[in-house]
Amino acid sequence: MLVGTLGSAVVLGWITLAADGVAPRAAYTTWSHYGGSADSAQYSALAQIDRANVRGLVLAWSYAAPRRSTPGRGLLSNLAFSPLVVDGTMYVLGQQNAIVALDAATGAGRWSRPLEGRPPMRGLSYWASADGHDRRLLFSADNFLHALDAGTGEPIASFGAGGRVDLREGIPRAPAGRNIQSQTPGLVFENLILMGSNPTEDHDAPPGDIRAFDVVTGKLVWTFHTIPRAGEYGYDTWPEEAWTRIGGANAWAEIAVDEARAIAYFPLGSPTYDFYGADRKGANLFGNCLVALDARTGKRLWHFQTVHHDLWDYDLATGPKLLTVEHEGKRVDAVAQATKFGFLYVLNRETGEPLWPIEERPVPASDVPGESAWPTQPFPSKPPPFSRQAFTASDLNPHLDEGDRARLERFVHGLRNEGLFTPPSVRGSMQMPGQFGAANWGAASVDPLAGLLYLRSVDLPTSNTLREITPRPSTPTRTSGTPDGRQMYRRLCAACHGMVETRLRTVAALGRDQFAATVRSGRSNMPPFPQLTDGEITSIFNHLVNAPEAAAAPAAGPYVEGQTRYVGQFANLILGDNSLPAIKPPWSELVAYDLNEGTIRWRVPFGNVPVLSARGTTGTGSFRAHRNGPVTTAGGLIFLASGGDATVRAHDTRTGDVLWEHVLPANPDGIPAVYEVGGRQFVAFFAGTERDYPETVWKPGDPAAQGYYVFALPAATAPAGN
């Protein structure tokens, strides 16, 4: 394992605790932070809605934020937005790409502030001065950190330059056209906002430095270099001056803060390029690390690396969860980190020491020329994995027809398949879990004082075939001046999209105008390309529709004389002809851990697939359920949304049984918000229409129905107080 140093723990300091050694706890009765609280627990202590009465939930109000597709103004179709609620006001992203304030009890509008360009996709951050007179909303949009007056929606002119801070400033290789902003909001601690980033997964992506800004002035307070520079800890785990040419290792998932100790926990992603690391030989700190920093100074306290020299795009896509457990007869404040590859690492929150032994085990070597896969990876002895970590022909989906099963059996037999951490290969390799997880964004919630963790897990294998490419100088246009769509696709798109034949029908169905709007504004993890002209976008569109065989060559990355490199495919799901996963169900599950014992209490399928439900087959789990998160409550409930079947549900924390469900007219996504106004408890869900999947696996949503759906017990029957 890598804790503190390569093989040993180093703790540089910590904040003085209360006399009994236990940090004071938040009440968990508000929803003023993304994820509910500063520790991102996704937990509410409100208990008016409980196991006994949850079946009585009704729609209290809704607010429409219809899908937009105006070129240059951004799409509201790729949201997984989670509301904030402060003092009876709910803050959301609404119509016209506006930040909107609503009455949290009724949905009545209070103010609206339209935005230009790419909006915040997952949520906002809130800060208030000690006297409560200065209240601000902070968010990223079009690569700027903005501040609005929470009471009026007016920009705070004294924040940065005219109410905004350019997030690209100070980031190496971050020109005007480069996306930097993370879709996940920053986290407010005292008078700071802690910020991750999402600098794309291109070969020439910038480093994913962690930064803290003053919420009053907008000034940069500290920076932590995730790809170390000369003289910094971890520099020797990279080639010399790697930060000048290697990028990524960014925090794009949820951040957590232990407010009593002033420790911030950042889950970091993989370095770029994701599948071939010959130019970044070494363990590559702080890629794929959980990093604990002094929240006030950015000083490293400890780190734990979950993957050494990542070749699988195994980002830490789920935020760390803080909770207190009974361990060896003592109360221990712990942090639990879920991963894309199905392991849950549980560490002492102060020191980074594992609660149960973690063993470095040998893993398969790479067979790709020039590559040096790390010889071992960290395997926890406890708790057990929450996802399947292998896929062979014996695991094929029984809901495929005979011919398709035979095709997939031949395909699987032809891959290099040596279990977890089989490296990408030129012959093709199996990756299980695939690049979407196991655990992905927003996947975990906790009961923080009971030592319980609830996790939404996905089982979707992917394959990866590397191709050798010799880079050429970029030539985005033909000598005649006509844009060359093939060259532009290879330079801008193919490093992420790779083989695109399966996407051609989607591109054609979008039409040129919708395709242009998507390219200019971005979508999900795809950055925006506002600098492209209409002619350039049209050339890429025509190339994808008319010349699929040319689009299959992945981009080579920056030109280096005489250099060759290998590139692969992102999100190359192994699917049947009916669009169902090749692996047998369940494809998504809700898993309950007791981290006092390091055991799994129960696991149940989460959601259904329309084509199978219509035949009476349920309990399969949703397909690609990787962008929504659970919320646990003191009422013994877990609220979770399933976009695949457009259903929101409440599960029993004791058993996982579904106690309530409601079908929405759009596809629910994101993390619910649980809050109270006037003695009445509410649960708010966002629902969108982003998915362009076949109706066999995804229930289509009504674009006009995108918005927010808020549930409560009927006013006449809701118990008084909580």
Closest among 182, 220, 419 to 315, alpha carbons compared: 182
DSSP label of 389: -
Are 459 and 505 part of one and the same domain?
A: no
DSSP for 449-503, please give it: TTTEEEEEEE---EEEB-EEE-------B-TTS-B-HHHHHHHHTHHHH---GGG
Per-residue model confidence as pLDDT tens digits over 262-278: 999 999 999 988 999 99
Residue 100 CA to its chain's centroid (Å): 24
Nearest-angstrom CA–CA distance, 77 and 163: 27
User: What pLDDT is attached to residue 528?
Assistant: 59
pLDDT score at 490: 56
Single out the residue in 493, 524, 555 at which a domain terminates.
555
pLDDT in tens, 318-349: 999 999 999 999 999 999 999 999 999 999 99
Let me know whether 254 and 119 are in one domain.
yes
pLDDT (0 to 100) of residue 4:
46
- Together in a domain, 519 and 584: no
Q: Are residues 453 and 481 in the same domain?
A: no
Residues 223 and 316 in one domain: yes
Q: Is residue 284 part of a domain?
A: yes
* Residues 198 and 337 both lie in one domain: yes
**Structural domain that includes position 147:** 2-17+60-465+575-712
Inside any domain, residue 35: no
- CB contact at 8 A, 458 and 438: yes
251 and 211 assigned to the same domain? yes
**Cis omega before residue 433 (within 30°)?**
yes
pLDDT of residue 66: 82
368 and 223 fall within a common domain:
yes
Q: Is residue 29 part of a domain?
A: no
The one-letter amino acid at 181: Q
Among residues 555, 588, 605, the one where a domain terminates is: 555
Does 23 reside within a domain? no
Give the Cα separation of 658 and 607 in Å (integer): 10
User: Residue 537's domain is classified under what CATH number?
Assistant: 1.10.760.10
442, 528: one domain: no
Query: Does one domain contain both 479 and 354?
Result: no
Residue 718 within a domain: no
398 Cβ neighbours under 8 A, 6+ residues apart: 584
| Residue 583: half-sphere exposure toward Cβ, Cα within 13 Å | 26
Does any domain span residue 98?
yes
In-domain check, residue 304: yes
The rounded distance, in Å, linking the Cα atoms of 279 and 312 is: 16
pLDDT value at residue 625: 66
Number of structural domains (the chain) is 2
Q: Residue 546: its pLDDT value, please?
A: 65
Query: Residues 613, 424: contact at Cβ < 8 Å?
Result: no
- Contact (CB, 8 A) for 719 and 46: no
Same domain assignment for residues 185 and 333: yes
Last residue of a domain, one of 521, 555, 589: 555
Strand partners, 193: 188, 213
Residue with token string 């004071």: 24
User: Which portions of the chain are predicted below pLDDT 70?
Assistant: 1-26, 67-78, 175-178, 470-484, 486-488, 490-510, 520-531, 545-563, 625-626, 690-692, 716-722
Residues 587, 527 within the same domain: no
pTM across the whole model: 0.87
Neighbour tally for 491: CB within 10 Å: 18
CATH at residue 226: 2.140.10.10
Q: Please indicate, yes or no, if residue 36 is contained in any of the structural domains.
A: no
pLDDT of residue 36: 96
